[in-house]
Structure 1
Amino acid sequence: MLATYLIGLREGLEAGLIVGILVAYLAKLGRRDLLGRLWIGIGLAIAVALGVGAALTWGPYAMTFQAQEILGGVLSIVAVAMVTWMTFWMGSHGASLSKELRSSVDAAIDRSWFALVVLGAVSVGREGIETALFVWANAAGGSDPLLATLGAVLGILTAVVISWGISRGLVRFNLGRFFTWTGLFLIFVAAGVLAYGIGDLQEASVIPGWGTHAYSLVAIVPPGSWYGTVLAGIFNFSPEPTWAQVFAWVAYVVITVPLYLLMLRRRSRARAAAAAVPAAAAAAAPPAAPVAPVSGGRVAERIETP
């Protein structure tokens, strides 16, 4: 439940920030008359995400056992790929997200009335489909899919409240730190989903080696224990993984974690360099004349991801 809660919270915040940027920019342009088109697109995106979730939940029941395992394994791998790509994309493009979205709004306004509907649907739909797919993949390997789904719903509702509070200036917290740490956490969750997907493909005889365990931790982590249940629910932990599952988990973590930390380091250096330029210019500039305060001024705040 904790894993799906954080998935829902993170993806919901990303979608909420995108919606906040789009709405705020249209208001800034004085085009509130176009908000209806934007909300139509957002509504379509939510409907598609719910449809994907429903299809993943009830669709496989008409399939054979082997077909279900193949579908589950393939979709688990796809979910890992989508979450990994989105984690790195947000880490490298988050600072310019607001600018990119404003440019997209300008282009959509110049095209046609339907272009803004498409922009809202695509911007939010990507987050919704990714959430539905990853939550399903994580819940499929957990012991209680109902709790996993409930965790995702609670995470999304929390994200809605936080996004509303940010847009109203009522909530302030370090979004950069939040996305950084949740991104690292989701890498380990994704590693477990990947191992589970490999296990599904082994059960379907697509990948050999099912039934041959690399090691057994049943004596240390019994499957029925509360901590075994927690580990299985959050990280898809298996006390008796196959060699293919172990190799997939280790390879994913060994490759992804260093690349993620390297990206964070480069981003930190880029920010430090960008901050040093105006500081040096300000130090070299002559002192400015004092300016009388202006009463009644208002500061427009914009919503941006780190």
Structure 2
Amino acid sequence: MLASAVIVFREVLEAALIVGIVLAATKGLEGSRRWVAAGVLAGLIGSAAIAGSAEALSDALSGMGQEVFNASILGLAVIMLGWHTIWMSSHGREMAAEMKRVGHAVSMGSRPLSVLAVVVGVAVLREGAETVLFVFGVSASGESGKLATITGCAVGLGAGITVGILLYRGLLAIPSRHLFTVTTWLVTLLAAGMAAQAVTYLSAAGLIEMPTQPLWDTSWLLPENSIGGRLLHTLVGYMDRPSAGQLAAYGATLLGITGLARVVSRRTA
């Protein structure tokens, strides 16, 4: 539940900020709200279609072995989460500036109002498609049931929209960069935990060989199946009896994402 809530919150907040920037840049322009609303609706419809396709793909590939399928989904989710984190570290400000330029151009009459629907629709569709993939990866990890995942998505959706509205109206004093810093670390840790889970599935399917002997055992202190253990497992990928393969996958993913994000950010700066 927490994993899906964090991911949905992050993606919805990004989409809400883009919509907010466009609305602020075209404030007072007649008809702009209708075109933005049309773009949001189109993006949501496209995201729903992608979600339906993902479910159909899951049913079609269920015969290939549940472990292999789950590992594939988790691996793809890790790659996408890493790419998203690295891309946002270097292009987040550029994207916000571009949205402001588009809104200004529409307000000045140099670009048609329909452009608003296009840029907003593409933004919502992109964030929605990523959300579908990431939540699908959370489901594949088997950490929570369907009801818990849906509840987490609902919580993340509501929180993301609420925070986006508050930021747009200037009622929230927290700078958006701080919010994204926190959520970026949470998403990176989630990706590392997914990578560790993926190698576990691959090992169970017999596709890779890795030592199963745990490097340490903290189940006496904080069992992974306890409330606190599950909370930490969801947020930071905590394992009470990690193997060398799981720890290697976790560390490699964590170092890879954070290292590449810093390199790309410095080059962009």
User: Which category of TM-score, normalised to the shorter sequence, fits these structures?
Assistant: 0.7 to 0.9
User: How far, CA to CA, are the matches of 1:47 and 1:116 in structure 2?
Assistant: 17
Q: 1:124 to 1:70 in 2, by over 3 A?
A: same
Amino-acid identity (%): 27
1:52 paired with 2:56, answer: no
What is the letter of the counterpart of residue 195 of structure 1? A
Q: 1:131 to 1:253 in 2, by over 3 A?
A: same
In structure 1, the residue matched to 2:71 is 73
User: How far, CA to CA, are the matches of 1:103 and 1:14 in structure 2?
Assistant: 18
| Stretch of structure 1 that moved more, 234-243 or 38-47 | 234-243
**Cα-to-partner distance string for 1:183-216 (whole Å, 9 max, x where unaligned):** 12221111011222233344444x3127x41416
**Cα-to-partner distance string for 1:213-246 (whole Å, 9 max, x where unaligned):** 1416374454532233223333454445554433
Q: Contact conserved, 1:135 with 1:149, CA < 8 A, in 2?
A: no
In structure 1, the residue matched to 2:31 is 33
Q: Contact conserved, 1:198 with 1:245, CA < 8 A, in 2?
A: yes
Q: 1:97 to 1:74 in 2, by over 3 A?
A: same
Q: Contact conserved, 1:2 with 1:234, CA < 8 A, in 2?
A: yes
In structure 2, the residue matched to 1:213 is 212
The structure whose Rg is larger is 1
Shift of 1:97: 2.7
* SS of alignment partner, residue 26 of structure 2: helix
In structure 2, the residue matched to 1:12 is 12
Shift of 1:15: 0.7
User: How far, CA to CA, are the matches of 1:250 and 1:238 in structure 2?
Assistant: 13
What is the letter of the counterpart of residue 125 of structure 2? G
Q: 1:233 to 1:121 in 2, by over 3 A?
A: same
**TM-score (structure 2 length as normaliser):** 0.80
Q: 1:60 to 1:262 in 2, by over 3 A?
A: closer
Shift of 1:249: 1.4
Shift of 1:22: 1.7
User: How far, CA to CA, are the matches of 1:218 and 1:66 in structure 2?
Assistant: 35
User: How far, CA to CA, are the matches of 1:224 and 1:102 in structure 2?
Assistant: 47
* SS of alignment partner, residue 93 of structure 2: helix
In structure 2, the residue matched to 1:24 is 24
Q: 5+ unaligned residues in a row in structure 1: which ranges? A: 271-306
Q: Contact conserved, 2:38 with 2:117, CA < 8 A, in 1?
A: yes
Q: 1:98 to 1:194 in 2, by over 3 A?
A: same
Q: 1:60 to 1:89 in 2, by over 3 A?
A: closer
In structure 2, the residue matched to 1:225 is 226
User: How far, CA to CA, are the matches of 2:254 and 2:98 in structure 1?
Assistant: 31
RMSD after superposition: 3.2
In structure 2, the residue matched to 1:257 is 258
What is the letter of the counterpart of residue 156 of structure 2? G
User: How far, CA to CA, are the matches of 2:41 and 2:24 in structure 1?
Assistant: 18
User: How far, CA to CA, are the matches of 1:45 and 1:196 in structure 2?
Assistant: 31
User: How far, CA to CA, are the matches of 2:10 and 2:262 in structure 1?
Assistant: 19
In structure 1, the residue matched to 2:88 is 90
User: How far, CA to CA, are the matches of 2:50 and 2:244 in structure 1?
Assistant: 32
Q: 1:133 to 1:48 in 2, by over 3 A?
A: same
User: How far, CA to CA, are the matches of 2:122 and 2:158 in structure 1?
Assistant: 21
Q: 5+ unaligned residues in a row in structure 2: which ranges? A: none
User: How far, CA to CA, are the matches of 1:119 and 1:229 in structure 2?
Assistant: 39
Q: Contact conserved, 2:87 with 2:261, CA < 8 A, in 1?
A: no
